[in-house]
């Protein structure tokens, strides 16, 4: 999987840069709907299983080993995750949430990655990783608190090995790296014990690869040979900015410069994402160090509910990607292979309806926090300033209650 695209990139491309033997074509030349020959892919847009290729060969066995049951439960995850996302979006539109970052289109990237993790592995998400959260067992309603404004993160990270959402782009990449270094120091790498060896996954977007923290994380992880998988969801846009405003070569090609392999995978092909991630995690747990995976996918919706993509992107691009829909593709594959029948698909849809209803009620019933709680959990040990302010706050507010009572 060590790419050699730098050597094989076409020469003579207009607007390309040549330095000695290396040719780097302009990112403007890249078709953002086509991941190119390096991209690992197992199933085409219609759900047909693709033959073995140079790119997917290394992972083919993982896919071969999967059972019908694996396929069905992955499909179920895709559909339920999409439904969670749709409900989040609807709840924002109805005023129940202040904001919602949609994962529409990225379900396969997240479910494939999340499913490849073991219980003892640890995930460090950005803010759009609702599908990974699902695979880690975080109840979807717990994701809503931050976007409703009642908390900054409504789950116990250590209960699910799923860190809190991180809003500042890039920050979590270093946290993940440090966590992986901790796993190394605990000796939980390369023991050969499947229940013990652990790895970390760090998630960010294509825009996030520009941050200093991202690049420093790659440096640290490479130097430490940390058990870590960097998972870049290249959904082609960082709010209004396309890939060519963030990097000159695709993220997966950058890994080599930091001393470890990079792989590009079709982020809309859940089997391919699962297989590539599983291989990378297995390598990390075995002590072979980090891998950078670039899941080539697309953000079908707006950046968040506050965004207006019509200002910066063209509709035909969205249409092309709609044809690559990850759920449609998986369903086609399963039907062709006889992994499931209509009754199964209907049952999953019905389950999605129930899940959506449950989330909706949970969101609507989520109470506003008691106001003095804002002074809680700021420090572990006593802090006189915060305690004084809390006391003042309570006294101030009860003075209104007294005044009202006196009337």
Ligand X SMILES: Cc1ncc(C[n+]2csc(CCOP(=O)(O)OP(=O)(O)O)c2C)c(N)n1
Has 303 been annotated as catalytic? yes
Has 165 been annotated as catalytic? no
Considering the complex, state which of residue 87 and residue 213 has its C-beta at the smaller distance from other proteins: 213
Has 312 been annotated as catalytic? yes
Tokens of 99: 């904001």
- Which of 185, 244, 312, 397 is flagged as catalytic? 312
Considering the complex, state which of residue 155 and residue 237 has its C-beta at the smaller distance from ligand X: 237
By the 8 A CB rule, do 64 and 57 touch?
no
Q: Which of 76, 82, 115, 128 binds ligand X (CB under 6 A)?
A: 128
Should residue 174 be labelled a site residue for ligand X when binding is judged by CB under 6 A? no
Q: Which of residues 182-241 bind other proteins (CB under 8 A)?
A: 207-208, 210-213, 238-241
Task: Quote the crossing angle between the two packed helices 107-116 and 270-285, to the nearest 10°.
Answer: 30
Should residue 124 be labelled a site residue for ligand X when binding is judged by CB under 6 A? no
Should residue 126 be labelled a site residue for other proteins when binding is judged by CB under 8 A? no
For residues 76 and 330, give the distance between their C-alpha atoms in angstroms, rounded to a whole number.
10
3-class DSSP state for residue 232?
A: strand
Q: Which of residues 13-42 bind other proteins (CB under 8 A)?
A: none
Should residue 249 be labelled a site residue for other proteins when binding is judged by CB under 8 A? no
- Which of 89, 254, 299, 331 is flagged as catalytic? 299
Binding mask 197-226 for ligand X (x = CB under 6 A): -------xxxxx------------------
By the 8 A CB rule, do 154 and 143 touch?
yes
> DSSP string covering 149-164, please?
TS-S--S-HHHHTBPP
For residues 48 and 137, give the distance between their C-alpha atoms in angstroms, rounded to a whole number.
31
For residues 389 and 375, give the distance between their C-alpha atoms in angstroms, rounded to a whole number.
8
Considering the complex, state which of residue 243 and residue 277 has its C-beta at the smaller distance from other proteins: 243
Considering the complex, state which of residue 168 and residue 391 has its C-beta at the smaller distance from ligand X: 168
In the bound complex, what is the minimum distance in angstroms from residue 208's beta carbon to other proteins? 7
Tokens of 110: 């997240």
Binding mask 282-321 for other proteins (x = CB under 8 A): ------------------------x----xx---------
Neighbours of 343 (CB within 10 A): 8
Should residue 238 be labelled a site residue for ligand X when binding is judged by CB under 6 A? yes
How many CA within 13 A on the CB side of residue 49?
Answer: 12
Should residue 357 be labelled a site residue for ligand X when binding is judged by CB under 6 A? no
> DSSP string covering 300-351, please?
-S-SSTT--GGGT--HHHHHHHHTT-HHHHHHHHHHHHTS--HHHHHHHHHH
Neighbours of 164 (CB within 10 A): 18
CA dihedral 137, 134, 86, 246 (to 10 degrees): 140
In the bound complex, what is the minimum distance in angstroms from residue 330's beta carbon to other proteins? 31
- Which of 303, 329, 331, 339 is flagged as catalytic? 303
Q: Given the rule CB under 6 A, which residues bind ligand X? A: 128, 167-169, 204-208, 233, 235, 237-239, 299, 303
Catalytic residues: 299, 303, 312
Q: Given the rule CB under 8 A, which residues bind other proteins? A: 98-99, 127, 145-152, 167-170, 207-208, 210-213, 238-241, 245-247, 306, 311-312, 368-369, 371, 373-375, 378, 385-386, 389, 393, 396-397, 400
């Amino acid at each position: 999987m060590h790419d050699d695209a730098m050597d094989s990139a076409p020469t003579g491309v207009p607007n390309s840069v040549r330095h000695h033997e290396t040719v780097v074509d302009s990112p403007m030349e890249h078709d953002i709907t086509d991941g190119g020959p390096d991209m690992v892919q197992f199933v085409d847009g219609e759900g047909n299983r693709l033959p073995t290729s140079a790119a997917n060969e290394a992972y083919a066995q993982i896919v071969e080993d999967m059972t019908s049951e694996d396929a069905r439960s992955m499909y179920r995850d895709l559909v339920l995750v999409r439904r969670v996302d749709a409900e989040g979006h609807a709840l924002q539109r109805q005023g129940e949430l202040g904001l919602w970052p949609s994962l529409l289109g990225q379900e396969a990237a997240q479910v494939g990655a999340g499913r490849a993790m073991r219980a003892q592995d640890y995930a460090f998400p950005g803010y759009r990783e609702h599908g990974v959260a699902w695979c880690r067992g975080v109840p979807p309603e717990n994701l809503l608190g931050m976007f409703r404004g009642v908390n900054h993160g409504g789950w116990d990270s250590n209960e699910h090995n799923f860190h809190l959402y991180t809003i500042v782009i890039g920050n979590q990449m270093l946290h993940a790296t440090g966590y992986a270094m901790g796993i190394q120091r605990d000796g939980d790498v390369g023991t050969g014990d499947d229940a013990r060896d652990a790895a970390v996954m760090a998630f960010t977007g294509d825009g996030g690869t520009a941050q200093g923290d991202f690049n420093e994380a790659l440096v640290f992880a490479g130097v430490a040979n940390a058990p870590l998988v960097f998972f870049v969801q290249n959904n082609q846009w960082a709010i209004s900015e396309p890939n060519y405003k963030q990097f000159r070569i695709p993220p997966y090609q950058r890994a080599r410069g930091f001393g470890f392999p990079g792989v590009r995978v079709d982020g809309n092909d859940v089997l391919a994402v699962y297989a590539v991630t599983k291989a990378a995690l297995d390598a990390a747990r075995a002590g072979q160090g980090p891998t950078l995976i670039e899941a080539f996918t697309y953000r079908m919706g707006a950046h968040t509910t506050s965004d207006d993509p019509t200002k910066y992107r063209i509709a035909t691009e969205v249409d092309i990607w709609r044809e690559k829909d990850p759920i449609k593709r998986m369903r086609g594959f399963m039907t062709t292979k006889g992994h499931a029948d209509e009754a199964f698909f209907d049952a999953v849809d019905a389950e999605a309806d129930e899940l959506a209803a449950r989330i909706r009620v949970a969101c609507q019933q989520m109470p506003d926090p008691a106001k003095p709680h804002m002074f809680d959990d700021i420090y572990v040990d006593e802090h006189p300033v915060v305690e004084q302010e809390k006391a003042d706050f309570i006294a101030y507010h009860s003075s209104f209650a007294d005044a009202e009572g006196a009337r």
